[in-house]
Structure 1
Amino acid sequence: MRKIVLFMSVSLDGFIEGPDREIDWHMVDDELHGHFNEQLAAMGAFLNGRVTYELMAGFWPTADADPASTGPMAEFAHIWREKPKFVFSRTLERADWNTTVVRDVIAEDIMALKAERRGGLPEGDLALGGAELAAAFMRQDLIDEYRVYVHPVVIGRGKPLFTASDTRTTLRLAGTRAFGNGVVLLHYRRR
């Protein structure tokens, strides 16, 4: 069965974005971007909330045509365009770029998506992105792995990765990796 894998970058103090939604503090260099490409190319689909999807759709469809894009950026543009995507939104009417709009996080539907092996999705786990969507998945105990990329910056305030919750999930460390730019991957799996 496929796994739901949360991929998120956070500041050292636990924020995914600043108070004005800025992410300019993310320290994504070619080494880290190459790692992201390797990990995400192996996924079967991307699961995003509307805000994350719109951020991605506003840049990645044509990023490989931009002369300012690095090699890893151009590579990811291709990965993002080709990969099936599910955007969870109650307001979005339609979405392009191989994307299906889903209205709600319904545990039975997510379990069916995880079990799907034919007729639609390529092999691979499901990459989850977006703090609000992650919180909805956490409330229903649907996340199998957490891959949190901690950036060596304290931004003081903004949107936290994890909000208050009544859900408790015990995890085990699956691995760590330090990148040359100071970013550290913390990889956890459910017990």
Structure 2
Amino acid sequence: LFNSVPKYVASRGRPDLSWAGSTQLGPDLAGAVREIRDRHEHVKVVGSLNLVQTLLREKLFDRLDLWVHPIVLGVGKKVFDAGAVPTNLTLLAPPVAGPTGTVYLRYARAQGIPGTGDMSAPDRGAGRDG
């Protein structure tokens, strides 16, 4: 199945495109992704953090799958870097936790002005004790 579907490669270099259906995207990555979204109903992205950050910044995603692993590594590259655009997300399904504590979260982009919320239950009034 994977050999029969188109594959688009975002790279600044000269990647190996010998895999069936592979095409390198041009320098206007955001424009190229918009065109791909217009052509294909379902698009899956597997890529580097640089690619993910571009898609987040340009709001070129419908769903965001996050895997949170219970490990502290110290410094490293941030998913939501200084160029991140404030965006509302809505949780699509309850979080799923694995036996080692890894948590899978599935979000969709949501409308509205981004803002913070609280951890109260939806049916509770503000300031009430539970």
Q: SS of the residue aligned with 2:92?
A: strand
Residue 122 of structure 2 is matched in structure 1 by: none
Residue 96 of structure 1 is matched in structure 2 by: 18
Residue 125 of structure 2 is matched in structure 1 by: none
Report which of the two has the higher share of strand. Answer: 1
Pairing 1:147–2:65 present: yes
Aligned residues: 108
Residue 78 of structure 2 is matched in structure 1 by: 160
Q: Which runs of 4+ in 1 moved over 4 A?
A: none
**CA-atom RMSD, angstroms?**
2.3
1:172–1:105 distance in 2 versus 1, CA, 3 Å: farther
Q: SS of the residue aligned with 2:59?
A: coil
1:116–1:162 distance in 2 versus 1, CA, 3 Å: same
The runs of 5 or more residues in structure 1 that have no matched partner are 1-77, 118-122
State the structure with more CA Rg.
Answer: 2
TM-score (norm 1): 0.49
TM-score (norm 2): 0.68
Q: Percent identity?
A: 30
1:95–1:152 distance in 2 versus 1, CA, 3 Å: same
Q: 42, 48, 51: which is aligned to 1:133?
A: 51
Residue 36 of structure 1 is matched in structure 2 by: none
> Aligned partners of 2:32 and 2:45: how far apart in 1?
16
> Aligned partners of 1:89 and 1:114: how far apart in 2?
18
Instruction: Kindly provide the CA deviation profile for residues 45-97 of structure 1, in whole angstroms up to 9, marking residues without a partner as x.
Output: xxxxxxxxxxxxxxxxxxxxxxxxxxxxxxxxx85x66532211122154222
Report which of the two has the higher share of helix. Answer: 1
